[in-house]
Amino acid sequence: MKLIYEKSVEGRKGVRIPVRDVKHYPFLPVDLLRKKPADLPSVSEFNTVRHFSALEKKNFSIDSNFYPLGSCTMKYNPKVLESAANLPGFRNLHPFLSYSARGLEAAQGALEILYNMEKALASLTGMDEISFQPMAGAHGEFAGIKIAAAYHAVRGEHRKIVLVPDTSHGTNPASSAMAGFDVVTIPSDKNGEMDMGEYRKKLNGSVAAVMMTCPNTLGIFNRNIKEVCGLARKAGALTYCDGANMNAVLGKMRPGDAGFDIMHLNMHKTFATPHGGGGPGAGPVCVKKYLSDFLPGEAVRKDDDGRFVIVKRPRSVGRLAPFFGNFGVLVKAYAYILLMGGDGLTDACEKAVLNANYIKAALEKFYELPYKRRCMHECVFSASAQAKKGVRALDIAKFLIDRGFHPPTIYFPLIVKEALMIEPTETESIETMDEFIKIMKEAASLAEEDPEAFKKMPVNSCVGRMDETAAARKLDIKYSK
Amino acid sequence: MKLIYEKSVEGRKGVRIPVRDVKHYPFLPVDLLRKKPADLPSVSEFNTVRHFSALEKKNFSIDSNFYPLGSCTMKYNPKVLESAANLPGFRNLHPFLSYSARGLEAAQGALEILYNMEKALASLTGMDEISFQPMAGAHGEFAGIKIAAAYHAVRGEHRKIVLVPDTSHGTNPASSAMAGFDVVTIPSDKNGEMDMGEYRKKLNGSVAAVMMTCPNTLGIFNRNIKEVCGLARKAGALTYCDGANMNAVLGKMRPGDAGFDIMHLNMHKTFATPHGGGGPGAGPVCVKKYLSDFLPGEAVRKDDDGRFVIVKRPRSVGRLAPFFGNFGVLVKAYAYILLMGGDGLTDACEKAVLNANYIKAALEKFYELPYKRRCMHECVFSASAQAKKGVRALDIAKFLIDRGFHPPTIYFPLIVKEALMIEPTETESIETMDEFIKIMKEAASLAEEDPEAFKKMPVNSCVGRMDETAAARKLDIKYSK
Amino acid sequence: MSYCPHTDKEIEKMLRVIGADSVPDLFSDIPDDLRAGELALENGKSEFEVMGKLEKLSANCSAGRISFTGGGFYDHFIPSAVDALSQMSGFLTSYTPYQSECSQGTLQALYEYQTAICRLTGLDGANASVYDGGTALAEGIMMAARKTMRKKIVIDACVNPLYRDIVKTYFSGQGFEILEIAPDGCAVDREKFIKAIDDNTAAVVIQNPNFFGTVDDYSDITAAAHSAGAQAVGSFYPVAMALLKTPAETGFDIATGEGQSLGMPLSFGGPYLGYVAATSACLRNLPGRIVGATCDSEGRRGFVLTLQAREQHIRRERASSNICSNQNLCAIRALIYLSLAGKKGFREVAELSRDKSEYAKELIGKIPSIKIKNTAPTFNEFVFETDLPADTVLEAMSKSGIDAGIALGGFYKGFEKSVLISFTEKSRKEDIDFFARELENFLTERK
Amino acid sequence: MSYCPHTDKEIEKMLRVIGADSVPDLFSDIPDDLRAGELALENGKSEFEVMGKLEKLSANCSAGRISFTGGGFYDHFIPSAVDALSQMSGFLTSYTPYQSECSQGTLQALYEYQTAICRLTGLDGANASVYDGGTALAEGIMMAARKTMRKKIVIDACVNPLYRDIVKTYFSGQGFEILEIAPDGCAVDREKFIKAIDDNTAAVVIQNPNFFGTVDDYSDITAAAHSAGAQAVGSFYPVAMALLKTPAETGFDIATGEGQSLGMPLSFGGPYLGYVAATSACLRNLPGRIVGATCDSEGRRGFVLTLQAREQHIRRERASSNICSNQNLCAIRALIYLSLAGKKGFREVAELSRDKSEYAKELIGKIPSIKIKNTAPTFNEFVFETDLPADTVLEAMSKSGIDAGIALGGFYKGFEKSVLISFTEKSRKEDIDFFARELENFLTERK
Ligand SMILES: Cc1ncc(COP(=O)(O)O)c(C=O)c1O
Ligand SMILES: Cc1ncc(COP(=O)(O)O)c(C=O)c1O
């Protein structure tokens, strides 16, 4: 399909710009001006509509496809969430209004949402205070590690190590490193949990924080988390919970109760805000009371008259976003929380776990299951048996694309060879999962019978298998005509 | 693809209904109640979203396909029109408010739209007053013929005949018949215009009205319309202009000036309101001053204080809609008129005619052109040469579907054998038309080389060629499980 | 400005292919004396200006107050998914599904819609929509007239007065006799009505719940019609049908109605949705489009427009109706709405709407000077009478921010002090309480 | 309630397959002492109640008054098509395009977006977005720090103070020295700035137009940076770039900025769009996702995520950034916006915004007690000073229904009586006139 630039026709006009009701003022001095106009597309509004309508059809999406991408919680995004975020009072509110008394008046409704949501999330996580500045999970992690750094700094301690399990998501070590820490990895034991022996060995006075994902990326609930947290506390380290997988425990278990000091949530996973093909999300960072002064950005509080006010945090790690992060995403998450309520969120959690275990049980005989135990919201298979025949996880992914199913996450977590990480989420029906199971079984049979057949796949998509190596070698990241 | 009923699972719940804040009252007496609940689908909200997302993909549409369906004016529907109709003041306004003084206050903005639009449309058509009650073109025709009937009735004349040309749209004779008139058809002459000799012959004291389409459905501007109207007037008959093709003359020529007494407009064609897969449209009926008392429904007027009021029409033919017709569609049309302005509408008309003539010129050598002359907004070819090889207009239509182009209107107008009626509209670009032309040429070649190939088409759509005969014979118009 | 993509260069190229010198040249067929002069229209404006203007006009409509206005058009809740799904461009920007293979989305949806209407009414077939509930009723009666070849129509005056107007317009001047039977209180005058049926009668015409909100069982009337060889035609509020005896169970041959309540915003009167359903004996007599299931060349199920030989584009002056464009997108909205609400939820909507109305009736009924006029059961609306002209009462309520219903005096003699008030599942108890208080206060003060 | 489709029967069946007795059974791995107690959350509500509540909260935000508030976040016009297109479910409800063959829509759009950013900035490559303009600036400086392996950052205090805060947060506690150069009036203090650059300097950091609205040519500063072996990093307002010398033309190595103006609503601070572009020498050092063109097995062009070896999911602690989810949909919105506005229209937006600002500057400048603080040219905003504390002035204007800008005292010493005021193509002349009148009246009265 042509690029919008290839469709551009010199002289063609797009939307009409608002009428000019003031005179033309003299141009800026010529030495401040660009030499020639940016070569943006010259297309009609209708050209644009056709172009993006065509592009949109080339995507799989939750509304059209089962999307069991592990660790991504691709649940149904209720349509009403869009209506909520588009309410004019929210949509048109200028953020700088939060910087003046008169502006606060104008923003009361928005501040009330932040205030209420903090309460709701605190109750779900067992944490005490929350900053909404982080704009995605990784941003929340960075905030959390910064908080740990500040906490130790205030106490005059120089701790330079963050411990992460080998199952951790790549953002965990990356966020730690970006905050200036050295990352030490702890292996998993044969149950897919953190190896406590190794953990004890590596936990020492240089450790600033321990990051765990709960449940972890194998979909396994680490039964030792309380001990992990307790040991860390004794060693003077803080514990961080990567809450990306909260959908597995909502209403069942609260990281705060297990002893975690800090955590983040992924609103674009657990709280059903649409992922938009990669973002925007929101990754609020939550802490216990004793760390709340360090939170990034300002706090929203209620004053004695019931008005919402913005209060500076005395020892804040600083600002991570100009205002309150991805507010529009937060409104959607808030609407979701109100719609679901405590009962609905718990129900969602139960059904998410039920669905994952159902798929696990149904496919257990066809794919190797590296950890044979109950799973939480997702299950991780290995295609290593198939790989021996030459059919890799990637090939199975392409097979699924041809059948209209989005593939699972593949090759993650890293400790599972040829990983197929399947997270159905609670909003999928048994019919859809049965269809998926059927097709996964077909893939397994085909891998036995005709492994070569996979190499040509996908054939039903708008393009065939992409040459990713060539892409990196002969870098072409912008169109030059 | 499964029906929504086939996806239904007993006990599955849809959207949550608002909370009950009043007690349960005793049921209605049992003899008033239905025996069992209506067997509507039991599906989740997400099931519904998936179902309709899948269905939506099975349609061609203006946003995704060139749609040169003749006589339908499938132009781009600006996205802003939807925003306009959804403004809360319009969307949530109860129509019965127009029945009281206090209600009129609440409806001032809506009435202003109707008032202004009447003025705008009057200026475009050369007519004087307009009723917005008719909800589509055919409804407008019915209104117009009813007005003619009332006009003659008031004068004590018993005229029972309506004259229509053989090129007229089926709704013209059908509307006339539904209003109790006998329909007499006038043939076209060799230029594709009304045969004036035949017209003169058939025009007599029994003729209540003459209906013409301007330009006609051959895409030809009848150069004699003024004479047609003049002769009718002399004979005491009224003239009706079917304005479905107004896109061809907007700003260029006004039916009112040609002498027409009555006409309707198709807002869902000329004024860019989306057609919604078959409706809703709006078909306002416009008349000259001397017929305005007969218009259906009430008039909107401005009083001395500049307030908008609703005024009964003394000799109205009656009510054709409970209120002001498809108001939501009218808001879109009004927004379109404001966006386009007089200059834009005229420009649209010019480009519509330019585009049609371009396609005509480009395909003239490949398809028989029954009327070899300039066309207006559409051109009508005949596939009769191809039909001799066994490739009918319908086959060419299916060929186009396979190539992602919506077919032209086929087999209409009736006087052209194997008609292919092509209306590109003004919003199509030359690239798209060139692509269409190329494919139409391919069809012509293929018809020469391999006529049999057409019979299997389409093959790229979600279903193959449908058995329409079986559908009518073994009538299955509802799902029974 | 317009939405045309044409550049000057392209225009030149096209003119060359056409063999014309200029664009105005293309209009040479328009005689000089018919050339339009200057249009009395302003030039086009940008989206910003136009939306600015429309937002002002919208703000000048005080929609969204507490409202108990109904009269056949109800403020039921519309889930966001109805808009989101129906506005997808495949539904919104396609034309009539003449070419079935590239219109299966619309066609299957209509087949499902027809099924839903059949399941609601209990009847055997439904068409793909007509304009609205009023024209649906007129079309339904025309079906009966065609079938019976008779010229007399007996209609209960408890049918929505606006619909009766529409029926009169459709049938005027064609030798039909339309006999309106005045109500007995807020209900049909059974005796008079049945007496009026004779062997010239093409159709008896009934509405349930009627315009006053009264619910009834019309089996006796449809039986009387049938024994006189007439057809029974009715107009039915779909939400009430979730609970009430179906038109089929009550003996109606043809059921019609307004589908606005199934996901259409009030929108000052339209676009709404007329539905028409009928017994199997009448199906080939239905107006407008009908979708049927069939198979493709490989035996796969698919859908097409069927029985097109009834329609104007084939049969012209002998068509069963002149209708061409219908309210397709509204039918799809209704189907989406019914799918979202579902078998269970749709009943809940009906039950809640009725119970809110019962609650209000109880509350208002306690106000000393007020009389509830309906003596028979009601669904979600009823009529109350005070000692004052209805407009005085409504005016006062309006000052309290409440649209308290419809004054009936303009439609019915003897109802000058009567107000038709209605409720849906959206009517909040606190708003009903507030209204009852305001009403009582006002009436007491005026004493 | 939840959005789960499960019926009791299905749950039973699934449990049987799993071999579990009950759903709670599945949670047996959670130790008893970690079981959550009762949640302090209300039960779920229906869409009707929730939207009712949110509508009230929305109404409690007085957005939509006359506003001249900017400061890096501007109320430009957003054509309806931006919403309509970006909210199509293929864009809205898909995940990151890891599986390229079923994500070509997102991938091609991102490639086109990257191209647009390159064409605006004049630079060689851009990534697929980061969170916002502030984090983009921090990421840009980190690129420079990695490249130069130096630890000193010289930043103009005319850079948005909120962005400087973000930069400080990112770099704190890691041995970096961040040197802020106080402004000279409303412009960079050239001399001091250039003097501060030395061979420890990783990056010089500039914003154009700066936070005061002042437009400048920073070629001398970037040249000084380069001769010291430092990189030049800037933050650029995309609408201004339609007119101004490009970052490339001015010698910047890395251009970053806030894309909110390209079709994102203000939305109380987000979601917005951070862009990062760089010269070819820096491309493999970019943070986050990048889309590249390549071919499929049959040689057809297609798009993939490329250079993934830079990213956290491959390189973990050695990744060029920790970013994973970005602001993808906002990038697509920006591309749609730029396509709709087009080459010509986008310049018009810039010209109009500036001319409205010039008009206001002229008008306000005439008020006796007012001083325009910018001495150099400005783009669409400027600083004015009165004899009163800025908050007093803003408070008064607010009473007239005008949000008249940002009080600068909280951000800059010596600016306690200064207001930053901004304009876009949407600022109506009549509103500017009204504001100027109100302002003059107020200042006169207070005399
Ligand atoms: C376990 C885990 N942690 C962290 C992240 C990062 O979240 P984000 O993409 O919102 O930055 C993810 C996202 O996939 C994740 O799955
Ligand atoms: C020439 C002409 N007249 C009348 C009509 C009927 O209009 P509607 O479908 O709005 O009833 C049409 C519609 O196709 C038409 O093309």
Q: How far off is chain C from A91, nearest CA to CA, in Å? A: 16
| CB interface of D with A, residues 384-443, below 8 Å | 391, 394-395, 398, 403, 406-407, 410, 425-426, 428-430
Which residues of chain B have a CB within 8 Å of the CB of A79?
Answer: 45, 49
Q: Is the peptide bond before C79 cis (omega within 30 degrees of 0)?
A: no
Give me the mean pLDDT over the D55-65 stretch: 88
Average pLDDT estimate for D293-321: 93
What is the Cα–Cα distance from B90 to B85, expressed in whole angstroms?
A: 7
The pLDDT of residue D73 is: 98
Residues C331 and C91: their CA atoms lie apart, in Å, by 11
Q: Where are the beta strands (DSSP E) in C41-112?
A: 66-67
In the numeric block, which tokens belong to residue D38? 């009762």
The answer to whether C281 faces chain B, any CB pair under 8 Å, is no
The residue in chain A having the minimum alpha-carbon distance to the alpha carbon of residue C1 is: A16
- Between D310 and D125, the more confident residue is D125
Ligand 2 atom 6: the closest Cα is on which residue? B137
Contact A7 B63 (CB under 8 A): no
Residue C160 has pLDDT above 70, yes or no: yes
Residue B475 and residue C283 in contact, taking contact as beta carbons nearer than 8 Å: yes
Please judge whether A34 and D29 are an interchain contact, meaning their C-beta atoms are less than 8 angstroms apart.
no
- Mean pLDDT of chain B, nearest integer: 97
Model confidence pLDDT, tens digit, residues B390-410: 999 999 999 999 999 999 999
Name the band, by pLDDT with cuts 50, 70 and 90, for residue C62: confident
| pLDDT tens, residue by residue, D113-132 | 999 999 999 999 999 999 99
Choice from A67, A69, A71 to test ligand 1 binding pocket (greatest atom count within 8 A of CB): A71
Interface test with B, best of C101, C151, C210, C327 (most B CBs within 10 A): C101
pLDDT in tens, A21-79: 999 999 899 999 999 999 999 999 999 999 999 999 999 999 999 999 999 999 999 99
Share of chain D above pLDDT 90, in %: 95
**Strand ranges (DSSP E) for C182-230?**
201-208
Find out whether the beta carbon of B137 lies less than 6 Å from any atom of ligand 2. yes
User: At residue B1, does pLDDT exceed 90?
Assistant: yes
Confidence of residue D1 (pLDDT cuts 50, 70, 90): low
> Is the confidence at residue B473, as pLDDT, over 90?
yes
Q: Is D1 on the interface with B (CB under 8 A)?
A: yes
Residue B100 has pLDDT above 90, yes or no: no
User: Residue B180 in contact with residue B208, Cβ under 8 Å?
Assistant: no
pLDDT digits (tens, 9 = 90+) for C19-57: 999 999 999 999 999 999 888 899 999 999 999 999 999
Q: Is A138 in the pocket of ligand 1 (CB under 6 A)?
A: yes
Query: Does C43 touch chain A if contact means CB atoms closer than 8 Å?
Result: no
- For the segment B334-350, what is each residue's pLDDT rounded down to a tens digit? 999 999 999 999 999 99
Q: Which of C377, B297, B365, C375 is nearest to C385 (CA)?
A: C375
Is B213 near ligand 2, meaning CB less than 6 Å away? Answer: yes
Chain A contact set for D165 (CB, 8 A): 318-319
- Say if residue B102's pLDDT is above 90: no
Residue B367, token pair as written in the block: 């398809």
Q: Mean of the pLDDT values across residues D10-27? A: 97
Find the largest Cα–Cα distance for chain A.
Answer: 76
Q: How far apart are CA B383 and CA B400, in angstroms?
A: 14
Give the ligand 2 atom nearest the CA of C323: 11
**Tokens encoding C231:** 């057809």
**Span B5-36, pLDDT tens digits:** 999 999 999 999 999 999 999 989 999 999 99
Contact D133, D167 (CB under 8 A): no
Which residue type does C398 have? S
**DSSP 8-state symbol, C387:** S
Quick check: B212 pLDDT over 90? yes
Asked if the C-beta of D161 comes within 8 angstroms of chain A's C-beta atoms, the answer is: no
Chain D residue with the nearest C-alpha to that of A256: D34
**Percent share of chain D, pLDDT over 70:** 99
H/E stretch holding A384: helix A384-388
Contact D286, D125 (CB under 8 A): yes
pLDDT band at C1 (very low <50, low <70, confident <90, very high): low
Report the pLDDT value the prediction gives residue D269, as an integer from 0 to 100.
97
Residues of C in contact with B146 (CB under 8 A): 169, 172-173
Overall pTM surpassing 0.95 (yes/no)? yes
Taking each helix axis as running N to C, give the angle between helix B45-56 and helix C328-365, from 0 to 180 degrees, rounded to the nearest 10: 150
**For residue C63, is pLDDT > 80?**
no
Per-residue confidence at C138, pLDDT binned at 50, 70, 90?
A: very high
Residue of A nearest to D334 (CA): A40
Against chain D, the chains showing at least 3 CB pairs within 8 Å are A, B, C
CA distance D202 to B374: 71
Written as six digits, the tokens of A396 are 């199975």
- Ligand 2 contact via B266 beta carbon (within 6 Å): yes
Pairing type for strands C152-156 and C201-208 reads: parallel
Partners of C305 in the β-ladder: C291
Mode of pairing for the β-strands spanning D125-126 and D177-181: unpaired
Is D281 near chain A, with CB under 8 Å?
Answer: no
Q: How far is the CA of D195 from the centre of ligand 1 (A)?
A: 43
As a whole-number percent, the residues of chain C with pLDDT over 90 amount to 95
CB count within 10 Å of CB D446 equals 13
Q: What is the pLDDT of residue D63?
A: 67
Residue with the two structure tokens 């040509």: A456
Band the pLDDT of D407: cuts 50, 70, 90. very high
Place of tokens 């409800």: D93
| d(C-alpha C89, C-alpha A50), whole Å | 11
**Residue C185 burial by CB count (10 A; 0-12/13-18/19+): exposed, middle or buried?**
middle
D243-290 pLDDT, tens per residue? 999 999 999 999 999 999 999 999 999 999 999 999 999 999 999 999
Query: Mind listing the pLDDT tens digit for each residue in D30-52?
Result: 999 999 988 889 999 999 999 99
pLDDT of D104 over the 70 cut: yes
Q: How far apart are CA D394 and CA A139, in angstroms?
A: 35
Which residues of chain A fall short of a pLDDT of 70?
none
